[in-house]
Amino acid sequence: METGATGMSEPATLTIDINGFATRVWRKGSGPPMGFLAGYGGLPKWIPFLDRLAEQRTVIVPSLPGFPGGDRGHTVLDTHLDWVLAVRDLVDKAGLAGADLIGSSVGGSFAAEVAAIWPDKVRRLALIAPFGLYDASNPAADPWAQRADELAALMTARPETYKALKEVPAGANSVEWPIEQTRAAEAAARIFWPLGNTRLERRLPLIKAPTLLLWGEQDHLLPRSYADAIAAAIGGETEVRIIPGAAHLAELDRPDEVAAVILGFLG
Amino acid sequence: MKFLWFHLMPYKELPPDFKEKHRSVWVDIPATLFDPKRAHVMYNEFLDELEYAAECGFDAICCNEHHANGYGLMPSPNLIATALARRTTDAAICVLGNSIALYNPPTRVAEEFAMIDCISGGRLIAGFPVGTPMDTTFAYATNPSQLRERYYEAHDLILRAWTEKDVFSFNGRFNQQRYVNVWPRPIQEPHPPIWIPGAGSVETWRWAAQMDYVFCYLSYYGYKMAQTVMKGFWEEMARLGKDRNPYRAGFAQMVGVAESRSQALDLYTEAAEYFYGRCLHVDPRFAVPPGYVTEATQRAGIESQVKAAAEGKAPTGPTATAGAARMQSLVRDMRGIVDNGYLIIGSPDEVVEQLNELATTLNVGQLMLLLQFGNMPSETTKYNTRLFAEKVIPKLRPLFSQWKNRWWPKSLAQHQRAAAAE
């Protein structure tokens, strides 16, 4: 994958208020806006995938409550409705209402919710292996019950990619950094514990936006059959793309390919 | 000093190669290893042992709650406590306890504890643990991000249900009930003494102190390893302006007493190695679901590690990776088990000496004894119990006599008691 040397400049950082919590919004590039809601573990650092998108569009990345940049916003969200309303607020305040929306994993589930419940908020939708379903005959893995060295291998095809994203950078607070990473896993647990099942399937038929569904060929967290179930349930026109060499967080494993497919679809 | 006889009720026939063949004794232990016909015998022996301890003169008999656990066969400790209430007359019945966040509605605990208090004639000690991650978040699927909030709310609801005289509505964050009205009511006024089992969490110490509850450190690693935690507890009590009454604190210790140290080694080695080798084999995947350890405790743990690393020492503060993670680094052979102080063994006098050191260094007045552990045969358990009651208790009994134990059940006088069943 690309390293920081190839076009990795810092995005602009804005702060918005979500339920009283200061929430980070990254912004980079120019052209029509597109939003990205990050996956399991969130984004403690800017990633090459976002640079690829920013080369052609204005990329806006609001942090989900409790995820890196989202403070302790998850602690006031007790129900699914609380969560969905918080994400709606996030989309509005980040200036993403009516824009294209991309979501991965946990963030993909929220992107799908917003597109389903408030169809005017999303022009075109791109989902990378979203959470929200559970099939007992083909169970998803348990991301919260992993040995420390196994989680990275569950999230990415090359574990070092995920480890590098999560590693404390020079100059960062070495006490608060690991607490923030645990908080991201807790925030995901707060809505998706224990099975990842929010009955998203019931709302997928409400999605009318043209939708691109991407799935890592080696996703060992969410089985491929979930892609078929989601594609079949979505109300609008849906295109499915399998990304070779990628696991659950395909945007970390294959930033160039995933960005190119998404940019091509969004037009 | 108070002596409480504590049973974990371990399944006694895990195979010798359990640790090699299986990932965990807890959460995903195979159901095929459980033989209900053998459990019939075990449960009845365990109940006999608890009743025997009461006969021998222990102040209390204790049970606790675990789920999907090969070393703790009491998903419902209240069933055991009720059986014991019927078969004993004087010993306190200590349920340590009910994981109150797991009950829906939590008033179920208020009801069942009130029943036990009524049946036993006011002998109940009511334990309210948060519960381990294995029990609460994995076996019972409670959200780790909400567990503590649910725990505190359940506590408030149970307290109100016990103490308010009128029917009331409870409009909580997680629990809403239009009609809260607990029938039966507990005998003890205003309610049974409340004990809080916990570990090295500063918030738990503060809360227990603020509520004036007993804090119980239930460790399997013995009094030598517990010094740091209990020192932290008493420092926190001093900061909060609380006295050093040793009855504010409980501690669990495994003990094997015999005529001599070498006889104790003969008698207890197999059971101890069974317990540490097979029973405490817990997969670290289930150790720390995110949110279970509060951020304040994580921060304290990381800061103490950073400080210790800078000074070239082992960390001493509360750690963010307690419980099952710690179980991975246990010693599992008898020599290590004894040398590390997990298990106290010896002649009665040798045991007295070590327990005296335990009680005075930890400043603990409510001593919980694990005299059955692992696959210990019932006869050996009774021998250990009898010898401890006859030769150890009398010598330690006077400890802390200058302090008042305000946290002990106030049971009915003899003339108010129901006629004993025959």
Nearest-CB residue to B284 (from A147, A190, A193): A147
How many angstroms separate the CA atoms of B246 and B398, rounded? 13
pLDDT at position B127 is: 98
Model pLDDT for residues B286-326, shown as the tens digit of each residue: 989 999 999 988 998 888 887 777 777 665 544 434 566 66
* Burial status of residue B318 (CB atoms within 10 A of its CB: 0-12, 13-18, 19 or more): buried
Signed CA dihedral, A202, A204, A207, A208: sign only: negative
Predicted confidence (pLDDT) at residue B265 exceeds the cutoff of 90: yes
DSSP state of A238: E
Nearest-CB residue to B289 (from A147, A176, A189): A189
Name chain B contacts of A145, Cβ cutoff 8 Å. 138, 285-286, 289
- The alpha-carbon radius of gyration of chain A (Å, integer) is 17
Predicted confidence (pLDDT) at residue B342 exceeds the cutoff of 80: yes
Please state the rounded mean pLDDT for residues A70-90.
98
Domain carrying residue B198: 2-287+323-410
pLDDT at position A4 is: 41
Signed CA dihedral, A90, A94, A98, A104: sign only: negative
Percent of chain A with pLDDT over 90: 95
How many angstroms separate the CA atoms of B356 and B140, rounded? 39
As a whole number of angstroms, the longest Cα–Cα distance in chain A is 47
Q: Domain boundaries in chain A?
A: 12-266
Model pLDDT for residues A1-36, shown as the tens digit of each residue: 334 444 467 899 999 999 999 999 999 999 999 999
- A241 phi and psi, to 5 degrees? -130, 125
The two three-digit tokens of residue A97, written as one number: 């209402």
The two three-digit tokens of residue B170, written as one number: 């409870």
Please state the rounded mean pLDDT for residues B249-268.
98
Predicted confidence (pLDDT) at residue A62 exceeds the cutoff of 70: yes
CB–CB of A145 and B286 under 8 A? yes
Mean pLDDT of chain B: 94
Signed CA dihedral, A69, A71, A72, A74: sign only: negative
* 3 state SS of A255: helix
Predicted confidence (pLDDT) at residue A95 exceeds the cutoff of 60: yes
Identify whether B332 is part of a domain: yes
pLDDT at position B325 is: 64
Nearest-CB residue to A186 (from B138, B144, B299): B144
H-assigned helices in A15-143:
48-54, 80-93, 105-117
The answer to whether B282 and B324 are in contact (CB under 8 A) is: yes
- In the A/B pair of chains, how many CB contacts fall below 8 A? 61
How many angstroms separate the CA atoms of A84 and A198, rounded? 11
The answer to whether A156 and A252 are in contact (CB under 8 A) is: yes
Name chain A contacts of B302, Cβ cutoff 8 Å. 174-175, 178-179
pLDDT at position B312 is: 73
pLDDT at position B50 is: 98
Name chain A contacts of B299, Cβ cutoff 8 Å. 175-176, 179
CB of B307 within 8 Å of a chain A CB? The answer is no
Model pLDDT for residues B175-205, shown as the tens digit of each residue: 999 999 999 999 999 999 999 998 877 788 8
CB of B167 within 8 Å of a chain A CB? The answer is no
- Give strand pairing partners of B6: B62
The answer to whether A103 and A128 are in contact (CB under 8 A) is: yes
CB–CB of A182 and B298 under 8 A? yes
How many angstroms separate the CA atoms of A229 and A135, rounded? 10
- Report the topology of domain A12-266: Rossmann fold (3.40.50)
pLDDT at position B300 is: 86
Give the type of residue at A73.
Answer: G
pLDDT at position B321 is: 46
Identify whether B422 is part of a domain: no
For chain B, the domain total comes to 1
Predicted confidence (pLDDT) at residue B422 exceeds the cutoff of 60: no
Q: What's the CATH number where B214 sits?
A: 3.20.20.30
Identify whether B299 is part of a domain: no
How many angstroms separate the CA atoms of A102 and A37, rounded? 6
pLDDT at position B313 is: 67
The model's confidence at residue B327, banded by pLDDT at 50, 70 and 90, is: confident
Please state the rounded mean pLDDT for residues B205-220.
93
How many angstroms separate the CA atoms of A265 and B315, rounded? 53
Residue from B67, B137, B145 to probe the interface with A (highest A Cβ count within 10 Å): B145
Mean pLDDT of chain A: 96
CB of A179 within 8 Å of a chain B CB? The answer is yes
In the stretch 77-96 of chain A, residues with CB closer than 8 A to chain B read 78
CB–CB of B145 and A190 under 8 A? yes
Identify whether B374 is part of a domain: yes
pLDDT at position B323 is: 61
Owner of token pair 């055991």? B80
**Residue B190: cis peptide before it, omega within 30 degrees of 0:** yes
Torsion angle in degrees (nearest 10) through CA of B123, B127, B128, B133: -150
How many angstroms separate the CA atoms of A263 and A231, rounded? 20
Model pLDDT for residues B266-288, shown as the tens digit of each residue: 999 999 999 999 999 999 999 89
How many angstroms separate the CA atoms of B99 and B93, rounded? 17
Nearest-CB residue to B302 (from A145, A148, A175): A175
The model's confidence at residue A49, banded by pLDDT at 50, 70 and 90, is: very high
How many angstroms separate the CA atoms of A137 and B48, rounded? 44
CB–CB of A189 and B144 under 8 A? yes
pLDDT at position B421 is: 55
* 3 state SS of A60: strand
- Going by C-alpha positions, the residue among B201, B204, B101 that lies closest to residue B150 is B101
Signed CA dihedral, B135, B141, B144, B149: sign only: negative
3-state secondary structure chain B: CEEEEECCCCCCCCCCCHHHHCCCCECCCCHHHCCHHHHHHHHHHHHHHHHHHHHHCCCEEEECCCCCECCCCCCCHHHHHHHHHHHCCCCEEEECCCCHHHCCCCHHHHHHHHHHHHHHCCCEEEECCCCCHHHHHHHCCCCCCCHHHHHHHHHHHHHHHHHCCCCEEEECCCCEEEEECCCCCCCCCCCCCEEEEECCCHHHHHHHHHHCCEEEECCCCHHHHCHHHHHHHHHHHHHCCCCCCHHHEEEEEEEEECCCHHHHHHHHHHHHHHHHHHHCCCCHHHCCCCCCCCHHHHHHHHHHHHHHHHHCCCCCCCCCCCCHHHHCCCCCCHHHHHHCCCEEEECHHHHHHHHHHHHHHHCCCEEEEECCCCCCCHHHHHHHHHHHHHHHHHHHCCCCCCCCCCCCCCCCCHHHCCCCCC
Name chain B contacts of A190, Cβ cutoff 8 Å. 143, 145-146, 291
The two three-digit tokens of residue B111, written as one number: 């009801």
Model pLDDT for residues B4-52, shown as the tens digit of each residue: 999 999 999 999 999 999 999 999 999 999 999 999 999 999 999 999 9
The model's confidence at residue B420, banded by pLDDT at 50, 70 and 90, is: low
pLDDT at position B230 is: 94
Please state the rounded mean pLDDT for residues A144-151.
90
Model pLDDT for residues A195-238, shown as the tens digit of each residue: 999 999 999 999 999 999 999 999 999 999 999 999 999 999 99
**Distance to chain A for B134, nearest Cα, Å:** 10
